[in-house]
Structures are given as C-alpha cells and as structure tokens.
Amino acid sequence: MTSSSTFAPQTTEPGSTPGGSITDEPAFEQRGIDYIPLSERRGTPIDLFWMWAGALFNVEYVVYGALIISFGLSFWQAALVIVIGNLSYLVAGVGSLQGPAAGTSVFAISRAPFGPRGAKSVSVFNWMTQVGYETEGLALVVLAGLALFAKAGVGGSTGLKIALIAAAAAVQLVLPLFGHRAMLRVLRMLVPPFVVLFILLAIFALPKAHLGAGSNANWETMTGALALILSAGGYGWVMNASDFSRYLPPEASRRRIVWSVALGGYIPSTLLSLLGAAVATAVATASDPISGLPHAFHGWFLIPYLVFVIVQLFAINSVDLYSSGLTLQALIPKIKRWQCVLLDTVVAGALTAVAIFSSGFNSFLEDFLLFMIIWIAPWVAIFITDWFMRRGRYDSRSLLTGRAGIYWRNEGVHIPGIVAQVVGMLAAASWLDTTVWQGPLSKATHDADFSVFMGAIFGAGVYYLLARRSVPREAATPAADPAPPVAPG
C-alpha cells in the first residue's frame, strides 16, 4: 500500500481521462490521503446516495429517535425536531463538494483553512470522535450477540463478552481494509434488505405506539433534542463526507452531489428516528435497541432482527473506521492506511470492553453526541466558509507537501482558522447542556441548548472577518508545478 505522502498533480494532468464506473476501481484500495489522479476518478453523484442510504438505514437512528423521547418530549415534538434537524444533511451535501475539487481527504483539505500544523489539532478531535462512534457501534454489536446467545440459553459470562468483543473487532477490520470500491458496493447492496427490515419493524411496532401520550416539553428541552439530532445527523457527517466524494471527477455536477448526499442521509435517518420515537412511546426501554425494541414485535422475529442489527452496525462502523484511518494519516503522514485501521480497531475494541463492563451506556451516548458538537459546530462552519471564500479552488499539491506549499503560513499555522475555531468552541460550550457540563448561557435560559448555532455562527463569522481578504487572494495564486515527485514507499 502506498504511503500517504503521494503528492498532487493538478487538473492539467496530461493524458488523464476521468470517468467510468466505481467497479473499475481496484478491488483493494492502494491509496491513503494521497491525491487521486484524474485517470482514477470514477463514479457519479448517485453512487453517494446509495452509499449514505446503505450506511444510515441503521438501528442507531432508531436509538436516537427513542433517546430524544427520553428528554421528555411528546412524539409530535420529537417528530418536529427530527424532520427539521435532519435538514442538516444539506450541510453534509455541501461538505462533499471539497473532495472532487481537491482530490484528497477531509482532514488533508482542512489544512487550507487551518494550515498543515494547525489542522493537526482538529484532526485529533476528529479521530477521537470517530473512535467514539466506532465504540458505540461495536458495543451495540456485542449486546446483540449477547442477546442471540441468551436466546440459545447461553448466559453472558465474562469470557463470552470478551470473545464477542474480539470477534466483532476482527470482523470490523475487513471492509475498511478493502477500501472505497468495496464499501460503496457493499453499502449499496445493503439498502434493499434494510428497507425490508424497516417496513417489518414499522408493521410490528407502530400498532403498539401511543402517539398522543404524555405532555409537551418546554422549548428549552426541545433545543437540547435538536442539538442531539444535528450532531448525530447531517451536521456531524461533514467530517466524513469528502473522504467518499474525492473519487468523483472534478467536473461532476455540484448540485447532484449535494442532493445525492442530502437525500441519501435524510430519508433513512428521518424514517428510522421517527420509528424510534414512536416505539419509545410504547416501550419503556426502547432507547436500548437490543433489549427494548424486541418487546414491540413477535418473538419469532427476534433472531432475524438481531442478525440484521449486527450487519447494519458493521456497515455504519465501516464508514467511521475508513475516515478515522484517513484522519490518522493526516496526523502521521508516514503511517499506512492498513496500520491506521488496525490501530483504530484495537483502541475501539478496548473502549468497547469498558462500555460493556460498565453501566450507564445511554448516558455516555447522550453526552458523547452533545459534547462532540463543541468542536464540530465551528469546524464545519469554518471548513465550508473557507470553501466558499476560495470558490472551491484548492492547490492540491500544497495540501500534501507541507512547507513547500502555499498553505504554510506562520510556520504551518493559519491564525484566522485557529482563532475562529477557539472562539467558536468557547461559544458552543457556553450554550451547551449535558449531564457533565452546562454552559452559563444554558443555565441563564433554563437549560436551553444552542451550542450548534453558537459554534457555527461565531466560527464562520470570526473566520470570515479575519480571512476575507487573504483567502480569496491565496486562491487566485497560480498552482504549483503539476509534475509530481515519486512517492516513497
């Protein structure tokens, strides 16, 4: 597998003809964060629709829908929050446009607004977030496996739990190691069976739901639920989006990319979250999709349900594991992608063991989803604002060559990006409401949570004010010599 430090030719690359199906890609991906030459660009925007739909027709979104009911919302309040909050997949669509333009991964592109050294700080945050998601998925896989063994009359001993954690981690390695082509094809194939599962879940569960039960929560509580949906939904997926769009040709329709990603994410996330919220009105433990949801349907469906749950969770974890590996390469340029995947799996497996052998998993999940928005809210806004300010033009070579590139300002740190990120994080934290931390503005407004909006507004606003002249001027700088040096490794 090549080193992650392959350098970038520009779109003037001679003899390069982009296009063709993703099936023309190598079965085993050889590239890391290095530039994807035009001759290797494949696929169309609709491939992104199927990829996101296949990943997000997932039981995790049933959990999120049930989780916001536990905030004290009525079903109709939860439905409003879900329908509005998942419009954030339009942001994920816009956050997919940088990949085809730059030809590299998200946190290599992030060097443009933050600088090669400055971007390492946000890359660390992203790696921790991705590993957190992987831990969540693996923990739910293990819980599903334990439920299957319990159905067969086998108790959940310590040895069994350890064996399931190790087995789940080993299986999780496979798809991200094969890479881009395998992931897009497998995720697309998983859409039809997942749709069938969703329909069956709805048929079994909805007749038992009590959509008019309970009382309405106040508006402050609804803002906390909205923050969770934004974090778990489209706003929180921008950090993965261009990792999968970077193989598209640069001339691919921007409008189709945005709508393919937006609809591929919005449809499954909204439907499944609505189902989770509805089931939560009838099943007290619905926020646990393993032990809670099965009470809503007939016993014969338990085994196929658990099997599908496991497959679904491996699918969505593959997306996180693929991107976390690329993020590690942005931090440690000489590391191979397979080494990143292996390291992430070991760390996520260890954290899964901690989660399985401790209590309070749902509290951990809620706080994790809300806390990560502190850094994500400003970062997304800065990342997209920078793209607009430079009109989608990147010097791909400079993103990957460090000191030799135009993004090496102030010893590799772009001050406007770092200042905007810090200000945005402080703004988000000031209006965050979790069981561990409550910001002063949240306290002053009776537990309201505007962390996402505060982080985005202050992050984008400060970045624009500080970089509104320098970034457009930088984007107009002629690109570096397009002839790439030989990649080491």
343-381 residue pLDDT tens: 888 898 888 888 788 766 666 666 777 788 999 999 999
Q: At residue 238, does pLDDT exceed 70? A: yes
pTM beyond 0.95, yes or no: no
d(CA 489, CA 485): 13
| Residue 341 resides in a domain | yes
Per-residue confidence (pLDDT) for residue 362, from 0 to 100: 62
Tokens of 174: 């496979």
Q: How many helices (H) and strands (E) does the chain have?
A: 23, 0
| 8-state DSSP, 217 | P
Q: Averaged over 211-239, what is the pLDDT?
A: 89
| Residue 320 resides in a domain | yes
The rounded mean pLDDT for the chain is 84
Query: 325 is in which domain, residue-wise?
Result: 22-378
| Residue 457 resides in a domain | no
306: pLDDT confidence band, cut at 50, 70 and 90? confident
Min mean pLDDT across 117-131, 159-173, 223-237 is at 159-173
pLDDT digits (tens, 9 = 90+) for 144-158: 888 888 878 887 788
Q: Averaged over 84-100, what is the pLDDT?
A: 96
In this structure, what is the dihedral angle of CA atoms 342, 348, 354, 360, given to the nearest 10 degrees? -170
DSSP three-state, residue 38: helix
d(CA 273, CA 265): 12
Q: The domain spanning residue 70 has which CATH number?
A: 1.10.4160.10
pLDDT digits (tens, 9 = 90+) for 447-487: 999 999 999 999 999 999 999 999 999 988 765 434 343 33
Domain count, the chain: 1
Per-residue confidence (pLDDT) for residue 207, from 0 to 100: 83
Per-residue confidence (pLDDT) for residue 200, from 0 to 100: 84
Per-residue confidence (pLDDT) for residue 376, from 0 to 100: 95
Length of the chain, please?
Answer: 489
Task: Write down the H helix ranges in 152-233.
Answer: 158-172, 174-178, 180-205, 219-232
pLDDT digits (tens, 9 = 90+) for 251-262: 999 999 999 999
Is 377:424 a contact under the CB 8 Å cutoff?
yes
14: pLDDT confidence band, cut at 50, 70 and 90? very low
Selection from 9, 5, 6 nearest residue 482 by Cα = 9
| Residue 465 resides in a domain | no
Is 273:86 a contact under the CB 8 Å cutoff?
yes
| Residue 400 resides in a domain | no
| Residue 461 resides in a domain | no
